[in-house]
Each structure stands twice: as C-alpha cells, then as structure tokens.
C-alpha cells in the first residue's frame, strides 16, 4: 500500500518545478511513441492514411510540450474557469447538429478548413474538471450531492455525444464519472446500485437505439449471424481475425496481413489495438496493455499523494479516463464489448483525441504542481 | 491508511481485475484460437490464380502453323458486384425478393428478366417509387435482415439511377440501416415522398429521369452484348447458348439453384443454426420460419457468388476492353483477364482441327466457354470446407483442368486426337488479395508446364490445294446435289507412307457444312466398288490361267454366278480368253471378268488378295490420325451398323438384299467392301512400288523425332506387277474409264470405282499414283453419295487433275517436289 500513498521525495514545496510529474509525462511520451510506431505501420496500407504519422507527431510534440505551462495556472483561476469551460464544451456539442459535418452518417466534427475538430474529445477533460470542481468540497455520502448532482453534470454532454451518434465516446464518460464520485466519497453500494439501474435503463432504451447499434449488439451476442457476416459485424470479425491471427509472437511490425491488405477498418483510430495485437502477438500486446494500464495506476498513485481534494479528483478522473478508454478500446477489439468507435488516447490518430488526452495529462500535472494543502481531504479523512 | 487512499486502492483493484479479464481474453484468442483465426484470414485473403499453360502448336512438315496459342483476353463477371451495382440487376432482384415475400412484385405478370425491354424495367422503377415506404421498414413482419436487403436494393437503385447529390450520398449509409424517418411515419407515404423529402428533389424530376437513366444502363449492357455475340454458353445449361442478357438470366438462375441446393444439403438455414448455437441464441432468436429460411438463402447466395465467372473466352480485345474498362460505372462486376487464345490457320476450316459441340457453320474462331454439367457438382460442403485440405485442392485443380480441356480441345478432330502431346499443365499462383479483391502479393508459385509442339507430315500447301480442288468440284456441279454430298482426298508419299494431305468436305446440313458429322472424315469407311479390282488382280495373276482368261465366259454385258443374282457390266467386252485380258479388264473395269475371277478364287482367295495390301483386317479400327500409326483396318464384311465414333452407317435393311454380297464373285467387284480413303491410297502405293509403306502422320513431338512404321515388302513378282500397272495406265489412257478426265496427261495413273450405296446414289472413287514412271505419291479421291450416272472417272479423276495442275503451277511446291514437272 505504501507505493500508493508515499509522497515523492523530490517535492520540496508547492509549485516548484520538481513537483511536476516528469515521470508521467515521459510515460505518456513513451506511449505516444508506441502509437506513432503503429501509425507508421498502417500508413502505407491506404492512401488516406498517408501523412498521419507526421501530423500526429506534430500534435504530440506541440501539445505535450505546449501544455507543460498549464501546470502552473493558478488554482483559483482554474476553479473559476471550470464552469465556463464545461459550459463551452457543452455549447460546442450543442452547436454540432447545426454547424457540424457528417462523416459516415454521424455528425461529430466541426470543419476548420481541411482539418476537423471533434468537440466530444474536449468534453472529456472538461467533464473531469467540472466534476472535480463540483465535488471538491462535498464530502457527504448522499444520493443527491454524491451521485445525482454529478450525474446531471454528466448527463448533458453524455446525451449530446450519444445523439451524434457516438455511443462509444458517451459511454467512456461513465467510468470517469463513477470513479470521481467514488473517490469523492460516494458509497460503493450506491454505485453498484446505480450501475445495475444503468444496465436496466440500457435494456429499456434498447428499442430507441439506432438500427446499426441494435445490429451491433445482436452480432456481439451472437444472435444475428447474417449481419455478423455482412454488415454490422464486419468490423468485429476483422478485428478478431487480426487479434487472433497475431498468435503469441505476432507477425512483425508492418507485416500484419489484416492491416497491410486493408481488411481491418479504422485501423489507425478505433482499431489500432488490433494492429498492435496482430503485429506483436500476445506477448507484445499484453506488454502494451500493462504499460498503458501502468499510466493509469501511476496517475492513481499520484492522486493518493496529492493532499488537496480537487487535485486528487482531477488525477482520479484522468486516470479513469485513460483506463476506461483502454478497456473499452481493447474490449471492442477483442470482442469483449459490442463494436463501437473509440480511439485510444495518446496513440490513435486524431488531433482532437491527442489534445483531449494531453489536456487530461495537463490536469494531472496541474494537480501535482498546484496542490492546496489547506484543502487536503486526505489529511483530515 | 486514509479513506481516500483506500478508495484509490479499490479503483486500482477494479482496474487490475478488468485487466486480467482482458489479458485472459487475449490469451484465449491469440494462444488457443490462433489456428482458427489464421484459417479464417487465409480463407478470405488467399486465393489460387491459375497460370494458363501454352498449348503446343501444330505445325506442318515445313513448319507452317496450323494452330497455336497466342496471348488473348477473356471476360469474366463477378455477379455479386454486378447484382449490387447495376441498375437493372437491382430492380430485378428487388422484384424477385418482393415476389418471394408474397408481395406483388414491381411489374405485373411474370418476374423481371434481363431479357425484358427497357419499358418493363421503367415500369418497375416507377412502381418502386410509388411503393409504400413502410415496405422497407423493419416493422414489417419479415424482419430486420430482409428489410435491410430490401432497403439495400431500393436505395442502391436510387443511388445509381438518379445520383441525387452529395448530401444523399452521405446519408446513404445511415439510410440503409435506419429507416424510421418522417415520411415513414406518415400514413400512406411512398418511397418517392421519402426520397423527395430527404434529397430535396422534385417528385416530378424523379419520374422524368427514370427512363433516360435506365436507357443509359441498358444501352451499355447491349453494347457489350453486341460485341460478344449470341453464342455465349449459358451457365448451368450445357449445350445451350445465347446473348449476354440470356447469359445473365441463366447465371442468376444458376446461382439461385445452387443456393437452394446448398441450403437443402445443410438442412435448413437460420433455424438449424440457431439450434446449434447457445441457449441464449435459441431463446432470443427472433427470426423464425420461412423468413429465416429466406434470410439464410440470401446469405447462402451471397457466399456462393464469390467467384468471378467466365463469360467469354477469347474476346475481341480492343472494343471489349475499351468498353468494360471505360464504363465500369455502368458495367460493374465485369472483368478482363489475360489468357491464351488458340489461333488456327484460317483457310483450313475442314481439317477437323477442333470440333466444338455447337459448331454447325464455319470453323469456330471464338470458343465461348462454360460447359456446366458435372463440373458444377460440388461434393464439398462449402461452409465446413477446409481450404487447405489436399483432397479439396486436388478436386479443384482437376475441375479446372477438365473445364479447360473441354473448352480448348473440342470433342473430336485433330486437336482432340493430339491432346496427349499438345496439352500442358496449368500452373497456379497462391496470391494474397486485399479487401477489394485486388491482388497484392504472391505467396507461392507452381509454374505451368507448356504443351509440346507437334509437327505433322502434312504439307499445308498441298492440303490447301486439295481442299480447294474438292470445293471447286462441288461448286461446279450442275446436277442437283444430294443433301449428303461430301468428298475426301488422301495424298501419301508412296515411299515413306507420310500423309501429305487429307482434305475432306463434310455434308451440308441446312445449307451449311456440318462439322459435327464425322462420316466424311478421311479416315472413315466407305464402300469401294471397282477400286478393289486392281488389288484382286495380283491374286488372279498368281493363278495359272486366270491371267489369260482360261475357262472364263465372254463378257456379254452380264454374268450370273452360282447362288447369286446376275452381275451386270458397263460394257460388252466380248471374249475374255486372251493373254492381255487382265490389263484390259482393269482399264475397262470389266465386272464379268473380275466376278469370274472372284468366283474362282473363292471368299478365302478374295480375302487373301486384299489382305496382301493391308486391307481386310478384321477387328482393328483407327479413330484418329495417331491411330494411323498402326496398320489401318481394311474392308469389313457387312452388316456393320455403325462405324467408329458413331458415324452413320447404312444398315442391311436400308439397302435391301440386293446390296448384301452373297458370293465371292460379287465381293470381287467391290460389293459390300469398305475402306477409308487413306487405306486405299496406301494399298495403291503398294501396287506402285511392290512395297506397302507404314503410314506416318506425326513427324516430331517436342524435340523428339517419331519414327514411322517400317514398310512391308510384299514380295511381288515385278513382271506380274507390271501387268497391273499397265491396266492402271490403261484406265487413264484412251478408252479407259478415267480417260475423259485428262488426268493421264499429267502422268498420273489410277483406277476408278463406282460403288452403289443405294438405289439412287453411288460413291465415286479414283485411286492411283503419280508420276507413272517413278511413283512418288499415292492418292485416293472419293465423292460420297453422288447420283447414279456419275462415275469415278468424272468428278474424282477431274478433281485430281485439277489438284495436280494446281500443284504444278505453284513454284514453292515445284521446288519441294521436283517430279511435279513444269506447268503446261
């Protein structure tokens, strides 16, 4: 337990350079580097992918370095801005139906010249910030203050993202919300009950899902072989072939047949893990999963070391963000979850996704650098 | 430990637990199920591409090409792509599906066919727009899968026909899957209402664009159909042929039949699958009964249509390639593939190079493929098949090989008979294809083995001239030709037995020469008539006194042998008792003399006489030119209902008892005696040189020289032989039976023969050798089924004269064969 709670020795005073989480930052760069490696592997397989590695590298360097000063933003400033940031992200989601562009039947992006921006990716750190700000001084384990009020904060972006439709991104917000609530003091039983109610709600809302979403669920349950072979199940089938075909040792970097011969769809974004699994096999993909999970665990560790409640909740939210994306993304690629499009933060191609991930990292850095001992919940708990 | 730390510990624990689940799944997929997924991947990505083997060339003795393979192109169709991308196909399949669902379909009357006119398709498209939009909703009783297919066809069609703009394109994916929008909710809303609402196009504009849009699609299809002609072999219907639209109808029906058969074999579609699945599937399986069967059938068909199907082999390159490649938008699914095409000497239509089943006219230049039949019976269950199973691979290889051979070889003729040498073995490549079927990589290569070139003993120039002479003779006839008029000319090198020419003209059926009829081929039997007399003569010379006619009754125009009817002679030749009677009787073809000779010799003597010259060898038959390497069979006694290869033969009943030889006397003048022209020419070579040459047809195969059969010394007394040769010279000299033809003036000698084959028709022969002094060529020319009154001295001898004159005029032939002499 000590590894989780022990404070870093280098931290002499708040706001010092030494308190910046360089190790996490380097870890994030390492994962981004792995991502670039596999983006490079997918690049020659399709004309549309050409230049992705370069653009992604640009985004990583720019954001990874450019967001470092964010750690020294004054706490009060950030707290003051958090409702506005949340409102801005909700507004951007709200404007999507009117000004967004439709790609593959979904309206998830704003077009800025040749580039596109996906507001849902920015809504994720905004939600973390909003939830942390909301729960930083609410300690009572009540339904309203501990779960329902934060639930309302979640509901707005959740609903708007789900209606784009982007159910994957929307669902990835739930673990973040639950983790922050739990870390803020909500009882485990209540959370389990909420989860159960959520499952029942999903069953009740099933008839209102889009047809393709229903088809994906049926295919995942193995109830619809026809769609499983032709339409809705195509992604899942190809992903399973890629993962399974990788075997224990993989086919080698840039050698994955599903990747090279263009069978695996969205392989630079929503199915990047399938490429990793195909080309590095069980050992490589397991190592990758452990590394990625290591980032979340290290963030949790940092959270335990942070004395103030706001900073800790920010870290928990960011850790949950990375963990939930890892689990959903890999779960979809391995058939543990129904097919849904969710990129792997730091790795998948997409500048919005990269920005979202690095903003989460910036929140962690801010929590580490600008901790307020006066608000330290851990000391009093 | 603080409460906050404990909570973080719980979160970390949950994460670790979920990670363990994930790693367990990874281990299951990548460790335990790897083989399954690798097999699935290879099943989809790897394919065999065949490398056509070059078929050996057929060359004449001087190296001129009779037939050879040249690079060409073939046309294939990926019907799945065509069905999903062509406007007519989309309409047709939508109509078929609605009918299967118990709906009225898109057109009144029978189901749509590709052969239907544009009006019917336009009516169908119009009716589709007026169809209630709810027809395509998931709410209908036939379930989501079928509704999705219906939507696929309907929206695909709208997409292809109207091209309603980028906005609609972008929505298409969603529209296909999600069809519960505004117009649907309106009571009585039609598809047109829905489309107008979605695309912003005026409903009237939709209607006004139907006919021109369909016309474009239909027009491109018809352009291709015109280029391909109307003799495409229809899939699944062996022996039947038609144009492209008929072909598409047949292909569609064929896939439908195969899908139904496959489903029956499997024993029911989705229901049986549900039974085999988990309890969860059984509980929640939503589609039951007939609609589940239909959904499964649609899926089965989708799987079956996964291979490109051959439409036409040896397509005319430029126009077809330009059309197919240039109009992919309107001709989806059509593919051009490189192949080899067989090119044959154009001026040799009747050499019997290839004998396709459907060829009833000129020699087939374009062989159109697909033979169907047994090749279609797939003994393997494609859903359970292991694609690396060697048994399956071997079956597949043989299937392709058989199809290939049948297409390229025909059922008879030279190509077929030389098959063992000409054929090679197709190679194959293991290729990797990407998602769109494009070849991206190669995994393995089994090189093709080309066939061997064959050099024949034929001389293409002589062959051509012989054929021209026969054709000219038939064209020049003023009398009414019987429908079975046909002719043949065999020319041998008298010394080596090499066959120099074997021209033949098949009978006419419906005004065209029928290549299917094998009866006129040069190696088949025909009644001989007086052609046998010189062959009998040597046996007569050996009998003391017969050569001088001792004891023979004079020729009074007829003679009655014991136990047989009276035998008539063409002339009254008077006394037959003088030393030169034999040459005289040969020259004048005296039936009375030879009938009495036959009577004296008896049946055994007649048989002995003919056997000496390689004839009358019972039990042997030869079917094709390679068979000529063995001694050909000779005349065989009747009755003999059918010849080799089922060639029609006259039966005893059809000829009446008059033509059944009862005595040796009648046999001695050629009644009931049959031989092929080649065998007769060989026998006359024996008369010319006193040596029976072994026939030789193949000179060289690949890089090996094939030796001919050794000649057979007959051991004839030259002085006796001279008397026969005098008789043959007499036949072409003044007063001889072939004098009028003028063939004697060119130096050829021979014997005419006229065999009654019915009450109205004869076979007319002229057989002999050339030149008379130093024989180099032996020949036999026969016209089958000429009317009574036409003799061997008329058409056959004249044809030979024309042929020899043409040979003399040809400088190349004069150089090759100096004994031809100078033209006069």
Per residue, the 3-state secondary structure of B613-666, as one string, reads CCCCCCCCCCCCHHHHHCCCCCCCCCCCCECHHHCECCCHHHHCHHHCCCCHHH
CA atoms within 13 A on the CB side of A249: 0
Could you tell me which residues are beta bridge partners of residue A271? Answer: none
Distance from C-alpha of B330 to C-alpha of B85, rounded to nearest angstrom? 8
Residue A303 at interface with chain B, using a CB cutoff of 8 Å:
yes
Question: Is residue A275 within 8 Å of A256, Cβ to Cβ?
Answer: yes
Could you tell me which residues are beta bridge partners of residue B486? Answer: B784
Residue A376 at interface with chain B, using a CB cutoff of 8 Å:
no
pLDDT-based confidence at residue A330 (cuts at 50, 70, 90): very high
C-alpha distances in Å from residue B76, one per residue of B54, B232, B324, B335 = 20, 12, 11, 5
Selection from A308, A304, A350 nearest residue A329 by Cα: A350
| pLDDT of A47 above 50 | yes
Residue A297 at interface with chain B, using a CB cutoff of 8 Å:
yes
Topology at the third CATH level for domain B460-507+515-820: Beta-lactamase (3.40.710)
Strand extents, DSSP E, B467-596: 486-493, 499-505, 508-509, 512-513, 526-527, 558-559, 567-568
Residue A135 contacts by C-beta under 8 Å, 6 or more apart in sequence?
A146, A150, A180, A181, A184, A309, A313
| pLDDT of A50 above 50 | yes
Contact B12 A225 (CB under 8 A): no
What is the pLDDT of chain A when averaged over all its residues? 85
Q: How many CB pairs under 8 A join A and B?
A: 187
Residue A113 at interface with chain B, using a CB cutoff of 8 Å:
no
pLDDT-based confidence at residue A325 (cuts at 50, 70, 90): very high
Tokens 């730390």 belong to B5
Report domain extents, chain B: 15-47, 86-218, 460-507+515-820
Give residue B397's pLDDT: 63
Residue A327 at interface with chain B, using a CB cutoff of 8 Å:
yes
Q: Which of B30, B173, B302 sits opposite A247 (nearest CB)?
A: B30
Residue A331 at interface with chain B, using a CB cutoff of 8 Å:
yes
Distance from C-alpha of B611 to C-alpha of A103, rounded to nearest angstrom? 90
Picking from A185, A211, A290 by the largest number of B CB atoms within 10 A of its own CB, the best residue to mutate is A211
My answer on whether omega of the bond before B591 falls inside 30° of 0, hence cis, is: no
Which parts of chain B have pLDDT scores under 70? Answer: 1-2, 138-144, 163-188, 198-200, 239, 266-291, 317, 346-388, 392-414, 416-417, 420, 476-484, 507-524, 616-662, 824
Distance from C-alpha of A282 to C-alpha of B24, rounded to nearest angstrom? 10
What is the pLDDT of chain B when averaged over all its residues? 76
Picking from A188, A245, A322 by the largest number of B CB atoms within 10 A of its own CB, the best residue to mutate is A245
Question: Is residue B397 within 8 Å of B387, Cβ to Cβ?
Answer: no
**Cα A271 vs. chain centroid, distance in angstroms?**
14
Strand extents, DSSP E, chain A: 100-103, 106-112, 115-117
Q: Which of A232, A258, A289 sits opposite B19 (nearest CB)?
A: A289
In this structure, how many other beta carbons lie within 10 angstroms of the beta carbon of residue A111? Answer: 12
- The two three-digit tokens of residue A242, written as one number: 């890629």
Selection from B542, B567, B693, B552 nearest residue B632 by Cα: B693
Residue B178 at interface with chain A, using a CB cutoff of 8 Å:
yes
Residues 435-474 of B with CB under 8 A from A: 435-436, 440-441
Distance from C-alpha of B807 to C-alpha of B824, rounded to nearest angstrom? 12
Selection from B278, B706, B693 nearest residue B452 by Cα: B706
Distance from C-alpha of A236 to C-alpha of A229, rounded to nearest angstrom? 10
DSSP characters over B383-443? TT--TT-HHHHHHHHHHHHHHHHHHHHBSSSHHHHTHHHH--B-EEEEEEE-TTS-EEEEE
Give residue A166's pLDDT: 82
Q: For residue range B132-150, what is the model confidence (pLDDT) as tens digits?
A: 877 777 666 666 677 777 7
Contact B11 A319 (CB under 8 A): yes
Contact A105 B173 (CB under 8 A): yes
Give residue B672's pLDDT: 76
With residue B237 as reference, give the H or E element that holds it. none
Contact A261 B45 (CB under 8 A): yes
Residues 142-201 of A with CB under 8 A from B: 179, 182-183, 185, 188
As a three-state string, the secondary structure of A38-66 is HHHHHHHHCHHHCCHHHHHHHHHHHHHHH
Tokens 């419906």 belong to B510
**Nearest chain B Cα distance for residue A203, angstroms:** 14
DSSP characters over A303-333? HHH--SHHHHHHHHHHHHHHHHHHHHHHHHH
**Nearest chain B Cα distance for residue A311, angstroms:** 12
Residue B139 at interface with chain A, using a CB cutoff of 8 Å:
no
Picking from B2, B7, B198, B263 by the largest number of A CB atoms within 10 A of its own CB, the best residue to mutate is B7
Checking ipTM against 0.95, whether it exceeds it is: no
Report domain extents, chain A: 2-87+110-118+211-380
Residues 273-292 of B with CB under 8 A from A: 273, 277-278, 280-281, 284-286
Contact B2 A247 (CB under 8 A): no
> Which residue of chain B is at minimal alpha-carbon distance from A187?
B7
Distance from C-alpha of A98 to C-alpha of A188, rounded to nearest angstrom? 40
More confident residue, A121 or B423: A121
Residue A247 at interface with chain B, using a CB cutoff of 8 Å:
yes
**Nearest chain A Cα distance for residue B85, angstroms:** 16
Query: Which residues of chain A have a CB within 8 Å of the CB of B15?
Result: 293, 296-297, 300, 323, 327
Selection from B377, B275, B736 nearest residue B534 by Cα: B736
Contact A261 B277 (CB under 8 A): no
Distance from C-alpha of B125 to C-alpha of B777, rounded to nearest angstrom? 73
Burial class (CB in 10 A: 0-12, 13-18, 19+), A213: buried
Distance from C-alpha of A52 to C-alpha of A43, rounded to nearest angstrom? 7
Task: State whether residue A110 is helix, strand or coil.
Answer: strand
Contact A290 B178 (CB under 8 A): no
Contact A304 B5 (CB under 8 A): yes
Give residue B54's pLDDT: 85
Instruction: For chain A, give percent helix, strand, coil, nearest 5.
Output: 70, 5, 25
With residue B550 as reference, give the H or E element that holds it. none
Contact B5 A327 (CB under 8 A): no
Burial class (CB in 10 A: 0-12, 13-18, 19+), B103: middle
Residue B604 at interface with chain A, using a CB cutoff of 8 Å:
no
**Nearest chain B Cα distance for residue A90, angstroms:** 25
Query: Which residues of chain A have a CB within 8 Å of the CB of B4?
Result: 183, 304, 309, 312, 377-378, 381
Distance from C-alpha of A95 to C-alpha of A101, rounded to nearest angstrom? 11
Sign of CA dihedral B416, B420, B423, B426: positive
Strands B526-527 and B558-559: unpaired
- The two three-digit tokens of residue A45, written as one number: 């397989």
Query: Which residues of chain A have a CB within 8 Å of the CB of B298?
Result: 226
Residue A237 contacts by C-beta under 8 Å, 6 or more apart in sequence?
A228, A229
């Amino acid at each position: 337990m000590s590894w989780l709670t022990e404070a870093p020795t280098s931290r002499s005073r708040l706001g010092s350079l030494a308190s910046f989480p360089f190790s996490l930052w380097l870890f994030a760069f390492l994962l981004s580097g792995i991502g670039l490696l596999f983006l490079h592997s997918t690049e020659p397989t399709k004309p549309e992918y050409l230049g992705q590695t370069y653009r992604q590298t640009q985004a990583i360097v720019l954001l990874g370095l450019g967001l470092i000063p964010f750690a020294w933003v004054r706490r009060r400033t950030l707290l003051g801005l958090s409702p506005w940031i949340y409102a801005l992200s909700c507004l951007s989601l709200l404007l999507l139906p009117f000004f967004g562009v439709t790609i593959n039947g979904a309206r998830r992006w704003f077009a800025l010249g040749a580039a596109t921006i996906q507001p849902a990716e920015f809504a994720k750190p905004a939600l973390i910030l909003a939830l942390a700000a909301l729960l930083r001084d609410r300690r009572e384990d009540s339904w309203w203050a501990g779960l329902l009020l934060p639930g309302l904060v979640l509901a707005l972006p959740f609903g708007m993202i789900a209606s784009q439709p982007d159910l994957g991104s929307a669902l990835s917000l739930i673990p973040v919300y639950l983790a922050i609530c739990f870390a803020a003091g909500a009882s485990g039983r209540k959370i389990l009950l909420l989860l159960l109610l959520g499952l029942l709600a999903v069953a009740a809302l099933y008839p209102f899902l889009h047809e393709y979403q229903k088809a994906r669920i049926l295919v995942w349950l193995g109830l619809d072989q026809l769609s499983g072979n032709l339409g809705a199940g195509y992604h899942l089938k190809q992903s399973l072939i890629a993962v399974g075909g990788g075997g224990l040792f993989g086919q080698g970097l840039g050698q994955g047949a599903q990747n090279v011969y263009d069978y695996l769809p969205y392989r630079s974004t929503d199915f990047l893990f399938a490429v990793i699994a195909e080309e590095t096999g069980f050992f490589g993909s397991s190592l990758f999963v452990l590394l990625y999970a290591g980032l979340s665990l290290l963030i949790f560790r940092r959270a335990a070391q942070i004395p103030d409640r706001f900073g800790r909740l920010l870290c928990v939210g960011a850790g949950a963000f990375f963990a939930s994306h890892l689990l959903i993304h890999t779960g979809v690629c391995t058939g543990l979850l129904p097919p849904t499009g969710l990129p792997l933060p730091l790795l998948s191609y997409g500048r919005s996704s990269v920005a979202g991930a690095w903003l989460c990292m910036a929140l962690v850095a801010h929590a580490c650098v600008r901790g307020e001992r006066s608000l330290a919940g851990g000391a009093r708990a | 430990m603080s409460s906050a730390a404990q909570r973080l510990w719980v979160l970390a624990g949950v994460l670790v637990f979920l990670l363990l689940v994930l790693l367990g799944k990874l281990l299951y997929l990548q460790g335990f199920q790897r083989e399954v997924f690798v097999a699935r991947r290879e099943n989809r990505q790897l394919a065999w591409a065949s490398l056509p083997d070059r078929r050996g060339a057929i060359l004449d003795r001087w190296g001129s090409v009779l037939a050879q393979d040249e690079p060409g192109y073939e046309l294939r169709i990926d019907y799945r792509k065509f069905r999903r991308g062509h406007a007519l196909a989309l309409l047709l399949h939508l109509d078929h599906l609605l009918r299967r669902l118990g709906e009225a379909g898109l057109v009144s009357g029978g189901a749509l066919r590709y052969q239907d006119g544009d009006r019917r398709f336009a009516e169908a498209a119009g009716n589709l727009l007026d169809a209630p939009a709810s027809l395509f909703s998931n709410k209908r009783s036939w379930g989501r899968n079928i509704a999705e297919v219906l939507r696929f066809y309907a929206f695909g069609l709208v997409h292809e026909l109207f091209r309603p703009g980028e906005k609609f394109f972008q929505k298409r994916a969603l529209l296909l899957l999600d069809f519960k929008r505004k117009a649907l909710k309106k009571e009585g809303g039609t598809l047109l209402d829905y489309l107008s609402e979605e695309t912003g196009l005026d409903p009237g504009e939709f209607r006004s664009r139907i006919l021109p849009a369909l016309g474009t699609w239909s027009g491109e299809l018809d352009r291709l159909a015109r280029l391909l002609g109307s003799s495409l072999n229809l899939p699944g219907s062996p022996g039947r042929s038609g144009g492209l639209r008929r072909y598409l109808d047949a292909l569609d029906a064929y896939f439908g039949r195969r899908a139904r058969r496959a489903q029956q074999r499997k024993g029911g579609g989705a229901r049986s699958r549900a039974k085999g699945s988990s309890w969860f599937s059984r509980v929640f399986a939503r589609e039951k009964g007939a609609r589940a069967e239909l959904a499964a059938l649609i899926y089965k068909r989708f799987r079956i249509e996964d291979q490109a199907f051959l439409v036409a082999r040896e397509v005319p390159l430029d126009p077809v390639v330009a059309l197919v490649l240039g109009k992919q938008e309107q001709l989806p699914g059509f593919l051009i593939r490189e192949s080899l095409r067989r090119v044959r000497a154009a001026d040799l239509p009747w050499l019997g190079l290839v004998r396709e089943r459907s060829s009833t006219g000129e020699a087939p230049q374009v062989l159109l493929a697909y033979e169907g039949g047994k090749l279609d019976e797939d003994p393997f269950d494609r859903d359970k098949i292991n694609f690396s199973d060697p048994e399956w691979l071997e079956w597949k290889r043989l299937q392709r090989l058989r199809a290939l051979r049948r297409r390229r070889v025909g059922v008879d003729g030279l190509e077929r008979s030389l098959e063992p040498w000409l054929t090679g073995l197709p190679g194959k490549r293991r290729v990797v294809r990407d998602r769109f079927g494009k070849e991206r990589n190669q995994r393995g290569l089994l090189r093709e083995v080309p066939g061997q070139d064959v050099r024949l003993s034929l001389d293409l120039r002589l062959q051509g001239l012989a054929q021209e002479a026969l054709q000219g003779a038939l064209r020049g006839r003023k009398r009414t030709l019987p429908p079975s008029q046909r002719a043949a000319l065999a020319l041998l090198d008298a010394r080596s037995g090499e066959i120099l020419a074997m021209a033949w003209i098949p009978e006419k059926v419906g005004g065209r020469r029928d290549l299917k009829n094998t009866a006129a081929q040069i190696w088949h039997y025909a009644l001989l008539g007086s052609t046998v007399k010189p062959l009998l003569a040597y046996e007569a010379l050996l009998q003391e006194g017969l050569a001088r006619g001792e004891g023979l009754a004079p020729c009074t125009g007829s003679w009655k042998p014991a136990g047989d009817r009276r035998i008539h002679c063409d002339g009254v030749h008077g006394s037959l008792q003088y030393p030169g009677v034999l040459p005289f009787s040969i020259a004048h073809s005296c039936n009375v003399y030879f009938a009495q000779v036959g009577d004296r010799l008896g049946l055994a003597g007649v048989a002995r006489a003919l056997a000496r010259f390689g004839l009358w060898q019972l039990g042997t038959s030869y079917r094709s030119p390679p068979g000529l390497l063995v001694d050909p069979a000779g005349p065989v006694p009747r009755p003999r209902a059918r010849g080799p290869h089922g060639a029609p033969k006259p039966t005893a009943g059809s000829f009446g008892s008059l033509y059944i030889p009862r005595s040796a006397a009648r046999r001695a003048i050629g009644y009931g005696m049959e031989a092929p022209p080649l065998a007769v020419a060989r026998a006359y070579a024996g008369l010319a040189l006193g040596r029976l040459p072994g026939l030789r047809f193949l000179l060289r195969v690949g890089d090996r020289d094939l030796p001919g059969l050794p000649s057979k010394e007959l051991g004839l007394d030259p002085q006796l032989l001279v008397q026969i040769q005098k008789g043959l010279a007499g036949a072409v000299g003044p007063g001889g039976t072939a004098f009028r033809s003028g063939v004697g003036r060119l130096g050829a000698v021979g014997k005419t023969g006229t065999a009654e084959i019915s009450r109205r028709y004869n076979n007319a022969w002229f057989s002999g050798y050339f030149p008379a002094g130093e024989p180099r060529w032996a020949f036999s020319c026969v016209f089958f089924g000429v009317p009574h009154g036409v003799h061997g001295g008329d058409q056959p001898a004249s044809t030979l004269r024309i042929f020899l004159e043409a040979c003399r005029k040809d400088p190349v032939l004069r150089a090759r064969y100096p004994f031809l002499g100078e033209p006069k």
